[in-house]
Amino acid sequence: MKRLSHQIYLTIILCLVAVVMVAGFFWSRSGGSMHTRQAFAVAGELAAAALPASTQSQQTQSAALKVFAKRLDIDLALFSSKFDLIASTTTKQMPTPPHGRHHGGFMFKKGGPAWSIALPDGRWLVARITRNKPHRPGLRLIILLSSIALVIGLLAWPVVRGLTRRLEHLQNGIEKLKSGDLSSRVKIEGRDEIARLAKSFNDAAERIEELVKSHKMLLANASHELRTPLSRIRLGIDLLAKQPNQARSDAIALDIKELDDLIEEILLLSRLDARLELDEKETIDLLALAAEEASNYKQCETEGTPVMVNGSTRLLRRMIRNLLENATKHASPPIHVKVVKSGTMAKLQICDNGPGISPKHMKDIFEPFHRGDTSSTTAGTGLGLALVRQIAERHGGTVQVIDNPKDGRLNCFEIKIPTHTT
């Protein structure tokens, strides 16, 4: 009984049998409905008209009872008002009418089911179908319950098996995922809890596959990017050991800072990839935060209206700083920062005076380690815009490159983040 389908199936059958048996028990003890009582009362009146009066002799009553039983082809027994046997048409023992009952009804006793009918004069007539073969008590009830259980069982099995088959498919998908097949998915069937569970599994598997691919790519690119500053540091240390001077020391310090920044951005990007929700949330004035960061850069103007958002001050500050650093390194001043409210979204725009982004780089500009024009000697790790996108998405927002309203060039970054909600 380890299979879930067998457990559910057996539970249905047992519950069905229990319900039928309880219903049969209470029905047999209830004494019948009002319609049944009326039918037995009519039968009593008719039987009283066909039988001699109670004042007649026992022989007369017995003879009439036999004629009546022969015409109906049943076994009959006549009892007095004190439940004494007056006459019987069979040598078999007939059940005595139930004491304390004032109306007729069904009786389920040894020898098979019988009917007790109350006559108007107080006598009782007990009838039972004539049986030529030995009767086994409860056989009909067992056959009835078995038939019902069989029919319900045949109808319930496809439903139960359908449920458990989908669970088995889900289990197979989990086993494949556990063995390393990250592309494993299960077919979503139906609209019930199992279907929602299958969808959750597919979403989780897709998320895991994306994380593993992202981390593999990040590791491969990071190992390549780390070699350049490390090689420069190694070479600088060798030259510094042979001929110390301040310029080489400053170059080594700059390489170490570049290496430190690269490692910090790799770790931050990895943490953002691994988490869908922010660790901390607070109410932030996006305009004030942008103005504070813009004050650290020359020829950087800020305008707009105060807009409150929910999020991490540290991450939003890093996002704005990366965009300002990108504008400073790859374009020319002045830099223009604008914050406005658009419906339920806070809109942040950072525009520069540079030539804009080439259309061929638009597709990959927010990918990790993408530097656009590879011939450029401008410093950078290629992770700044990737972090901008990740931070915007973790705040429920988006980032895109738009045309500068002044000159029409693609040198404006626009970020939309949901405004503060209580």
Could you tell me if residue 343 is left (phi over 0), alpha (psi between -120 and 50 degrees) or otherwise beta?
Answer: left
The confidence score (pLDDT) of residue 277 equals 62
Contact 339, 348 (CB under 8 A): yes
In this predicted structure, which of 119-128, 241-250, 269-278, 412-421 has the lowest mean pLDDT?
269-278
CB atoms inside a 10 Å sphere around CB 269: 20
Tell me the H-state helices in 243-312: 246-274, 286-294
Class of domain 193-274: mainly alpha
Distance of CA 16 to the CA centre of its chain: 29
Would you say 49 and 121 are in contact if contact means Cβ atoms under 8 Å apart?
no
Mean pLDDT, the chain, whole residue set: 79
What is the distance between the alpha carbons of residues 104 and 115, in angstroms, rounded to a whole number?
7
| CA dist., res. 305 & res. 338, Å (int) | 8
Does this chain's domain 193-274 share its CATH topology with 282-418? no
CA angle 281, 286, 287 (to 5 degrees): 160
Smallest Cα–Cα separation from 121: which of 62, 76, 84, 80? 80
Q: What is the pLDDT of residue 376?
A: 44
What is the C-alpha separation between 339 and 344, in angstroms, rounded? 13
CATH code for the structural domain at 31-137: 3.30.450
Closest CA to 78 of 98, 51, 105: 51
Residue 127 confidence (pLDDT) above 60: yes
CA dihedral of residues 196, 197, 202, 207 (deg, nearest 10): 100
Cα-to-chain-centroid distance, residue 6: 23
Q: When comparing pLDDT for 62 and 11, which is higher?
A: 62
Pairing of strands 300-304, 335-342: parallel
Q: Give me the residue label for tokens 């931050």.
A: 268
Strands 345-351 and 398-402: unpaired
Three-class SS state of 402 = strand
- Calculate the alpha carbon distances from 174 to 112, 179, 181, 190, 202 in Å: 58, 9, 9, 19, 10
Query: pLDDT class for 14, splitting at 50, 70, 90?
Result: confident
Would the pTM of this model clear 0.75, i.e. be above it? no
Residue 228 has pLDDT above 70, yes or no: no
Confidence of residue 11 (pLDDT cuts 50, 70, 90): confident
Residue 413: pLDDT above 60?
A: yes
Q: Please tell me which of 102-106, 162-166, 169-173, 245-249 the model is most confident about, judged by mean pLDDT.
A: 169-173
CA distances to 324, 327, 354 from 300, rounded to whole Å, are 9, 10, 14
CATH for 282-418, options being 3.40.50.720, 3.20.20.70, 3.30.565.10, 3.40.50.850: 3.30.565.10
CA gap 175, 171 in Å, rounded: 6
User: Which position has the higher pLDDT, 15 or 56?
Assistant: 56
Alpha carbon distance 63, 244 (integer Å):
141
Element (H, E) at 84: none
Domain residue ranges in the chain = 31-137, 193-274, 282-418
- Look at 265 and 413; give whichever has higher pLDDT: 413
Which tokens is 185 given? 């998915």
Q: Which amino acid is at 136?
A: R
Query: What pLDDT is stored for residue 417 in this prediction?
Result: 94
Which residues make Cβ contacts (< 8 Å) with residue 80, sequence separation at least 6? Answer: 54, 86, 122, 123, 124
pLDDT band, very low/low/confident/very high, at 404 (cuts 50, 70, 90): confident
